[in-house]
Structure 1
Amino acid sequence: MNRKLIPACLLFAGFISCNTSNSPVNTITVTNDSSVSLNDKPVIINRQALANIPQENRFPLVTTSTGDTIAAQLDDIDRDGKWDQLFFVADFKPEEERKFQLSWINAPIKLNPRSHIRFGVRQTMDSHVEPAISDTFYADQLPGVIGYQHYQTDGPTWENDKAGFRLYLDGRNSIDVFGKKVSYITSDSIGIGKDGHTENNYSDMKDWGTDILAVGNSVGIGGVSLLIKDSLARLGVTEQDSLNNVDTTIFNIVSNGPVHSLMEFDYRGWKALNRNYHATMNTSIWPGMYAFQNTVSLQNLTGDETLVVGLVNSNTTRPLKEIFINDKWVALLTHDQQSVNKTWWLGLALILPKEDYLGYMEAPRQGKLSTTFLAKLKVKNDQPVTYYAVAAWELSNEQFKDEAYFTDYVHNLTEQLAAGLKITVN
């Protein structure tokens, strides 16, 4: 297992400064093209659209027309050491036009982050958990084989001000949910014992919240696998297995700023029904939503495969709801007291691209991929598929006890995600 520790400079990614002397200024005009109110809508501007970018290392400062500072960050999407896009979020009334000023600053000051990725690695049985930005996991390194858990919270945790999620990077590749009762970032200390080793200390209720999803042998909420003809092929294995079906899993944090956190999972040599696939998954989160975005791409497909996306149903017997929200998106959702031990009301949903949607199926109640609904999506070689996974817990917002409220939330969130922005830079 190879890992890369976090350089000190990255610890300051969530900082800005008010020192803007002699700084070039761009005016960014953003128009909401829809009739929907938008909350924490991402505004993304490619580097090529910006003029007068300073040659020296500077930080972006985005302000509103009234002089208020907007948290913003620079994302290096291709990880070549040169940033590719400016990212910030803002609220818009229906059809509203807003203007923002972009200038460049010398030194950072602290911001309160509203998104975050925590990835902690324990290199040996006796070593302490250390923060890292990357790791390579090999097929013979399953925790049950080597005798200890490599990863804090079993893999990376990502969160915003509404909800938290984690992926079991230890070979299972399921996606779990941390229910949050607070808006601040919590994940740095979750899953570490007093001895500095990995520890499950998140299954009991804490001030921040708790682990709320019963995952079992499903792929959780938003995890992926394949349907090959009529046979299900899991990406990864279960706790009972002794060898992963993925030769090499490479994880990288791409960006971890105050309002946008992005990571990549690269699955090389995925053995499925005597075939060998290469899958990549880019997972991102930004503030304001009980959800995250996933983009999946595959290689070495032969043409008889269907991408399946999981929505666990181990703690509910209620039927799945299918809602065609607009001409771009379809939502699948459940609502029940389906948290761990069936204690709390929890709404789960997938928001899926209508052009790729092929319906849904239910996995068997037992087996390596079980107790889950599975959305079916068209997939072609090197053609990314983007969807969203939603988890809304009653202790985050007591109105989520009500099924109609949760359904309305998913509908409104989908409309906001589908809304377009017109952006001009002067």
Structure 2
Amino acid sequence: MTDQKSLVIDFPYFKSKFKKVNIMKHSFWVVGSAFLMAYACSPAKKEEKPLQFTVNNQASLALTDKPVVIKKGEIPGLESQAGKWPLVVSVGDTVAAQYDDTDGDGQWDELFFVTDLAANDAKTFTIGWADEVPEFAPRTSVRFGKREGADIPVHPAQADTLPADGLPKSVGYQPYQTDGPSWENDKVGFRHYFDGRNAKDLFGKKTSAMSPEDVGINSEGAVEDNYHVMHDWGRDILAVGNSVGLGGVALMIDDEPARMGVTVNDAVNNVEESVFQIVKEGPVRSVIQYNYNNWQPQDRSYDVQEVSTIWPGMYAYKNAVSVEGLQGDETLLVGLVNINNDHELSEIEVNDEWVVLLTHDQQTYEKEWWLGMALILPRSVYEGYTEAPKEGPLSNTYLAKLNVENGQPVEYFAAAGWELSDEQFTDRDYFTKYITNLTKQLSADVTVSWEE
């Protein structure tokens, strides 16, 4: 147990101190409700009010862990706080939030948190001020490790560049922990094959805690596939093969599907340079980015960017894909692996904004557990789906077809519900209702208004 530490929290016209409490190595901050009550009842300051804002749910639908984004410039009085951090306080407790630099200038510009809201309801929050950023128990995480040689231990990394001739088949060893980055929230985890395959895999979780940092390496620090067996936290559950997994991307070029990257048996990539970086790893939002420079299918050249984002409370992640170098006969393809699925694909038009492609079967390794998977796709650019061949470099997958314009990002969500995360996911109707509700929540608007 680390030493307790005091955090100075300022509300308008007075200052107090509260203890930072450490539980199971994770920290959270507590602000006594009696503190706010005493302030509200103070005769001397009764006419003064702390800075408050209200989040309004405009939908007739209850929202769970709904993201709230406040731009730095929207916070009244921030300039007068001499570099202090705005804390979001609700019912006397500090809300887990983070301060993100979204434009890459080295300064935070966005305050992000999640909250629950009843249908057509509103919730009021108070802003306090702190000298340092609080630590919150993580509900999202990113894990990325690499090694520079077969006999060199894996070390954590924030970024990496993979050249075309840097694949495992070429260098003689797997350079990446879990074959590439993995990311998760309190519900589900995912991983990306950054070793040239560029497919997206699935970790089923049995606990809301973040999985250990040493998944995919052994006690000597060597890369090891130790995640295809059950652990307390869960395991890798999805057979990906030569598909692009759950939410991976490809292009349809002149009516032929083209894989961005290669298979495990190839020694040289068709992408000249693949660049990965962790943009943000935070308690309530994590963001990772890939840039595939000079991808060369069919004597063409494209630059592709992917940005994957995850926040708590949903069995899903968000992906944004943009392509440079389009010639006009291309269609963006998003994959939904179909290796162990013997049941029909469902196509569901949820509302004017989103359409869903959904499968549900015992589509895990050895068909051992029930697993539902879904793509939540923007209806404005959705052009149906097709199936890849049963064999070949891009195979065994449904492929959603999306209209894409040069340099313009297309955003979608990939979701999965495993029976050991929630036993009701064994039922197709239950999973379908979950995905439909999630999709409606993603469509729901919330607004932020500041009290004068």
TM-score by length of 2: 0.88
CA deviation map 1:159-188 (0-9, x unaligned):
000000000011001000000001000141
1:415 maps to which of 430, 437, 440? 440
CA deviation map 1:116-136 (0-9, x unaligned):
111111122222111111111
Displacement of 1:229 in angstroms is 1.7
Displacement of 1:110 in angstroms is 3.5
Q: Are the counterparts in 1 of residues 10 and 128 from structure 2 also a CA contact under 8 Å? A: no
Q: Which moved more, 1:180-189 or 1:369-378?
A: 180-189
Instruction: Tell whether 2:104 aligns with 1:76.
Output: no
Instruction: Tell whether 2:9 aligns with 1:20.
Output: yes
Q: Are the counterparts in 1 of residues 306 and 321 from structure 2 also a CA contact under 8 Å? A: yes
Distance 1:144 1:169, change over 3 A: same
CA deviation map 1:271-311 (0-9, x unaligned):
11111001101100000010000001111101110000000
Instruction: Tell whether 2:89 aligns with 1:63.
Output: yes
In 2, the alpha carbon distance for the partners of 1:30 and 1:97 equals 6
Write the mapping of 1:358-377 to structure 2, written as runs, cut at 5 A.
358-377=383-402
Instruction: Tell whether 2:105 aligns with 1:116.
Output: no
- Aligned residue for 1:280? 305
Q: Which moved more, 1:316-325 or 1:53-62?
A: 53-62
Q: Are the counterparts in 2 of residues 226 and 307 from structure 1 also a CA contact under 8 Å? A: yes
Q: Are the counterparts in 2 of residues 42 and 90 from structure 1 also a CA contact under 8 Å? A: yes
- Aligned residue for 2:230? 205
- Aligned residue for 1:5? none
- Aligned residue for 1:334? 359
- Aligned residue for 1:9? none
2:201 partner amino acid: D
Displacement of 1:145 in angstroms is 1.1
Distance 1:60 1:138, change over 3 A: farther
2:87 partner amino acid: L
CA deviation map 1:209-244 (0-9, x unaligned):
110000000000000000012111111110011111
In 1, the alpha carbon distance for the partners of 2:342 and 2:11 equals 63
CA deviation map 1:368-424 (0-9, x unaligned):
000000000000011110000001100000000000000000000000001001112
TM-score by length of 1: 0.93
- Aligned residue for 2:320? 295
Displacement of 1:425 in angstroms is 3.2
In 1, the alpha carbon distance for the partners of 2:101 and 2:325 equals 28
1:41 maps to which of 57, 66, 73? 66
- Aligned residue for 2:409? 384
Displacement of 1:270 in angstroms is 0.6
Q: Matched residue of 1:268: which SS?
A: strand
Q: Matched residue of 2:380: which SS?
A: helix
2:240 maps to which of 197, 215, 218? 215
Instruction: Tell whether 2:197 aligns with 1:156.
Output: no
In 2, the alpha carbon distance for the partners of 1:116 and 1:43 equals 19
Instruction: Tell whether 2:127 aligns with 1:102.
Output: yes
Name which structure has the greater RCO, CA cutoff 8 Å, separation 6+: 1
In 2, the alpha carbon distance for the partners of 1:109 and 1:301 equals 45
Q: Are the counterparts in 2 of residues 291 and 391 from structure 1 also a CA contact under 8 Å? A: yes
CA deviation map 1:191-212 (0-9, x unaligned):
0111111111000111111100
Displacement of 1:56 in angstroms is 5.4
Distance 1:17 1:71, change over 3 A: farther
Structure 2: where are the runs of 5+ without partners?
14-49
Structure 1: where are the runs of 5+ without partners?
1-15
1:91 partner amino acid: D
Instruction: Tell whether 2:349 aligns with 1:324.
Output: yes
In 1, the alpha carbon distance for the partners of 2:206 and 2:257 equals 36
Q: Are the counterparts in 2 of residues 136 and 251 from structure 1 also a CA contact under 8 Å? A: yes
In 2, the alpha carbon distance for the partners of 1:50 and 1:109 equals 19
1:273 partner amino acid: Q
CA deviation map 1:140-172 (0-9, x unaligned):
000111011111111111000000000001100
Q: Are the counterparts in 1 of residues 336 and 399 from structure 2 also a CA contact under 8 Å? A: yes
Distance 1:187 1:235, change over 3 A: farther
- Aligned residue for 1:189? 214
Q: Are the counterparts in 2 of residues 17 and 107 from structure 1 also a CA contact under 8 Å? A: no
Q: Matched residue of 1:348: which SS?
A: strand
**What is the RMSD computed on CA atoms of the aligned residues?**
1.6
